[in-house]
Amino acid sequence: MKRRLDLILRAHNGSIIYEDERIIVIEKPPQFLVLPDRYNQSLPNLYTALKDEFGGIFVVHRIDKETSGVIVFAKDADAHAQLNSQFEHRDIHKNYVAIVVGKPMEADGVIDAPISESPSHPGVMKVNSKHGKPSVTKFSVEELFDGYAFVRAMPESGRLHQIRVHLASIGLPILCDRIYGDGAPFFLSDVKPNYYSEGDEKPLLSRSALHAASITFVHPGTNSEMNFEAELPKDMRSVLNYLRKFRSHNPAMRQLEGSYHHA
């Protein structure tokens, strides 16, 4: 018989990637909360589903509701403490991919820019050199299109919305990001010439195009290094396929030389 946790995840196109007596690694579906919503506790979320399954669970790190991909939870306090220590010492390596709007100036770079919360808009972050906390994100351009790019981002710190606000700060907001971009859904008609539809066109993507692709850490029980990956979800794959077909601009990658450092 399928466990309720499996059924909940599969119903939302998520899954259990790995599980043992100390940890569980989840492929979080997009538009699925990690923690209970403060205003509506009945909304589906990973913490409640895991707590119902195991009687207790420990949150190691978080990813945004709209973001898909790999997330790790600890099943006991000692595993939680060990994984937290790895995060504090930057021994856990996270790898994200994103579809961004705009043209990168360089093929790879480092965004070294402090981040703080906006005093007038709680929950919204901004680059703030005077009052922000140190924040570093490395990035590389995987594919370049006309007006868009597919980017890999490796955060070295763990600030709220770090990748989103850092990429936006260098003129590369994530596609469909409602806070740091224009938030507009992505339609096929945005890139396909002479597009025609008999009915209302449905968007290919309507959430922030950010995916937690992989995570690497040392297992708190065995002390062996472990790496877990999550496949790019269907909505982002669809956008990339159409960008490759109608906005292909890969030869321009040769024009992106050197590194970019933003501080």
Closest CA to 162 of 214, 113, 120: 113
- The helix/strand/coil state of 180 is coil
DSSP letter at 199 equals S
Closest CA to 155 of 141, 130, 138: 138
Q: At what angle do helices 46-54 and 4-11 cross, to 10 degrees?
A: 160
For 195-244, strand residue ranges (E) read 210-218, 225-229
Q: Is 6 a catalytic residue?
A: no
Among candidate residues 6, 37, 64, 146, the one labeled active-site is 64
Pairing of strands 148-155, 136-144: antiparallel
User: Which residues have C-beta within 8 Å of that of residue 94, sequence separation ≥ 6?
Assistant: 154, 155, 212, 214, 215
Q: Which residues are part of the catalytic machinery?
A: 64
